[in-house]
Amino acid sequence: METNGNRNDAKWDAFEEMMENKVVFTVPIDESVKAGVVTSVKGVRAFIPASQLSTSYVEDTNEWIGKEVDVVIITADREKQRLVLSGREAAKIKRSQEKKARIDALKVGTVCEGKVETIKPYGAFVDLGNGISGLVHISQMSTKRVATPEEVCKEGDVVKVKITKVKDGKVSLSMKALEEAPAPSEDDIPELSQVVSHEKATTNLGDLLKNIKLD
């Protein structure tokens, strides 16, 4: 037979698991108290400090009475029966999850425009919009040799980039991939005399082999 103590332990087991996994859930605000508001979770009284109600400053907690707030558990003290929630942390988690979903939706090979937001010695970070930015590594800035990123772009420039990799919430971009392959230089084109000499050498070698008699 389940006792009240067992049921209470089960609740706190659930609270601790929710806190560990940063589970976001919704609660109604029941009343305003000093320095925050009060709600209940599974019949247990819970406190939300005014500083944890929102990502913005809360001046009057009375205005929150009756509203529903997305929260996570930030303190679950079984011994003291103390349950503290945070709307601020829940908002951060939701933003992070939404951003990850937008990044995961990006497709490798897509060409897009973005604004250079930061220049680093190793490359440039490009703002693709919608809260997403990616890195154009210095090796991916041009088909030509680049000593510093500033040779190719500067902060505020609008550039075309190709998405080359999306992994672990990071986006890799390339400007180099959009450049046409450079035409071969004169040094790369063999002279006609070299070609003729090569053909002649090949022919002469063939003639020599013909004259060799095998026993």
User: What's residue 178's pLDDT?
Assistant: 93
Question: Closest by alpha carbon to 128, among 93, 178, 176, 163?
Answer: 163
User: What's residue 8's pLDDT?
Assistant: 82
Give the chain's radius of gyration (CA, Å). Answer: 33
- Domains in the chain with CATH codes: 4-95 (2.40.50.140), 106-178 (2.40.50.140)
Side-by-side strand order, sheet with 82-86? 25-28, 68-77, 82-86, 44-49, 36-41, 31-33
Mean pLDDT, 10 residues at a time, the chain of 215 residues: 70 96 97 95 96 94 96 96 97 93 93 96 95 96 95 96 93 92 52 45 48 51
* Token representation of residue 130: 């919608």
d(CA 153, CA 170): 21
* Beta strands 111-120 and 158-167, pairing class: antiparallel
Question: Closest by alpha carbon to 126, among 164, 88, 95?
Answer: 164
Residues 91/55, Cβ–Cβ less than 8 Å: yes
* DSSP state, residue 1: -
User: What's residue 103's pLDDT?
Assistant: 93
User: What's residue 168's pLDDT?
Assistant: 87
Alpha helices per DSSP H over the chain? 4-21, 87-104, 192-210
Q: What three-state secondary structure class fits 172?
A: strand
